Amino acid sequence: MKNSPDRKSQPELIEIGAVDIQEAKPYKLDNGVPVYYINSGFQDLVKVELLFLNRTFDPTNGLLHSATNRMLGEGTSKHNAQQLADGVDYYGAFYETEENADYCTVNLYTLNKHLESTLPYLREMITDAVFPESELGVYKQNNKQRLIVENEKVGSLARRKFNEILFGNKHPYGFYVEPTDFDKLNRSVLQTYHKQQYLSNHCVIIVSGMIGEGTLSLLNKFFGDKNWSGAQATPFAVAEMNYTGDKKQFIAKEGAVQSAIRIGRRLFNRNHPDYPGMAVLNTVLGGYFGSRLMSNIREDKGYTYGIGSALVSMKQEGYFFISTEVGADVTIPALTEIYKEIDLLKTELVDEEELEMVRNYMRGTFIKGIESAFHLADRFRSLHLHGLGYDYYQKYLEKVRTIQPEEIKALANKYLDSSMFYELVVGRK
C-alpha cells in the first residue's frame, strides 16, 4: 500500500522549540461584561463558558455554592428541568456545570447555527433559576446517598480528609463534606445566594471554537443588557487556614483490603517563581507513568496498581501531594519506599537521560494541552484566574527545557522537607 507509515523504524526525534500559543482576544458586551474569545478549529462548534468567582464561603453551609450551581438547570419560571433539558437536546447541544472552591462555571456546547436558539436557555438558567423544592429534594437525596457510598471507599475518605488536614474545615479548600451537610440546603438560601452570585458585574465569558462576528453579537443580545446586574461585587472573604492537628494521622476502616495513603504539604500556586521548577521535580518523582514512584512501588515492589504525585494550584495557594492505595499488609513498606524516593531526590542528582525523558514528556503534554480551541480556553482560564499573562507559558516551557539536575536537587531540599509533610493513612488496623 502506498504512503503507509513505516512502522519498523523509530520516528526521528524532533525537539520542541518555541511554542506559538493562540491567545484569547478581549471583547466587551454593552453592559461591561468582559468576553475573551478564541477563534480556532475546523468544526462549526462553539463553547460558551460563563465564569463566576465564588464571592463568599460559609463553613456552616459549605455546599451552598456547588449546590446552587448544579441546580441552575433544574427549573426556571418558564420551564421545568425536563423542558430545559429537552429544549437544549433538540438542537444537539448540551450544557454542563463545574464547581470548585474558587469558581463556578456554566458551559454551553452547541453548533453555531443553533447558538441563537440555545443561548436563551442558558440565559434563563443564569438569571431565572427558581430551585424547585421537588428537584432540590432529589438533589439532596441522591448526593447524600452517593456520599454515604463514597465514605466506604478508603481513597475517597483520604482525599477529602487530607484537604481538611492541609487547610482546615472552615476554609473552602479544606471543607470536609458530611452527609448531614445536604440537610442544611433549602430553597431560600439557594435563592439568596443565586441573587448575589449570578450577576453581570460578576461574570466573565470565555467563548471558544469557530467564532464570528455573529457569535459576539448573539452574546451581546442575550447577556449584554443591564437587567441582570447587581450591586458592586464584594471581594472574596479569605478564610483562615486553621488546621493544627497531628502531622501523622490514621483513620481506621475495618474490613478494608487496601490502605489509602496521602502525603504532602501546603505549597505555592503557579504565581510563585519556583512553580515551573517544582513541576519538573514533581514529574520526576510521581508525575507520569515512568516516574520514580511508579517504577519502584508499582513495577518493582508490586505494592500498588498506581501511585502518583501532583502540584495543585488554586487561586489563593497550592499544595503538593503523593497519593496511592496499597495492599493493607504492605502499608508500612510502601511508606518507607515513598520517603526513600523523596530522600534520593534530595541527595543525588537526576541523571541526564532521565531528565531528558521528563523534559520531552512535559513538553509533549503541554502541546497536547493546546491542540484544540477548547483546550486553549482552559489554558486561558487558568492564566486569567491567577492574573498571569501568556508569557507565563513561555517561561514555563523555557524552565522545563533548561532546568539542570543541581536545581532539581536544590528544590527538593528546599520544599520536600519531611518535617513539613502531613501523612494520612486510611485502612484497617
Q: What is the pLDDT of residue 235?
A: 56
Residues of the chain with pLDDT under 70: 1-3, 231-240, 242-244
Query: Phi and psi dihedrals of 334, rounded to 5?
Result: -65, -45
Helices 391-402 and 352-368, packing angle to 10 deg: 160
pLDDT at 233: 58
Question: Kind and range of the H or E element at 127?
Answer: helix 115-128
Question: In the beta sheet, which residues pair with residue 262?
Answer: 323, 424
DSSP state at residue 394: H
What is the model's pLDDT at position 255? 87
- pLDDT tens per residue, range 193-251: 999 999 999 899 999 999 988 999 999 999 999 988 886 656 565 666 766 678 999 99
Task: Give how far Cα 173 sits from Cα of 8, 165, 355, 384, Å.
Answer: 50, 10, 33, 19
| Cα dihedral 176, 177, 179, 185 sign | positive
CA atoms within 13 A on the CB side of 146: 8
Cell digits of residue 84: 430545559
Q: What is the pLDDT of residues 249-259, one digit of tens each?
A: 999 998 899 99
Give alpha helix (H) positions in 151-231. Answer: 154-167, 187-197, 213-223
> Cβ(237)–Cβ(56) under 8 Å?
yes
Count Cβ atoms below 10 Å from residue 141 Cβ, excluding itself: 11
Q: In this structure, is the dihedral angle defined by the CA atoms of residues 50, 53, 55 and 61, taken in order, positive or negative?
A: positive
Listed residue (67, 82, 350, 295) closest to 186, CA to CA? 67
- Three-state SS annotation for 217-267: HHHHHHHCCCCCCCCCCCCCCCCCCCCCCCCEEEEECCCCCEEEEEEEEEE
Which residues, at least 6 apart from 132, have a Cβ–Cβ distance to it below 8 Å? Answer: 74, 75, 80, 81, 187
Q: Over the stretch 23-69, which tens digit does the pLDDT of each residue have?
A: 999 999 999 999 999 999 888 999 999 999 998 888 899 999 999 99
**pTM of the predicted protein model:** 0.92
Counting every residue, how long is the chain? 429
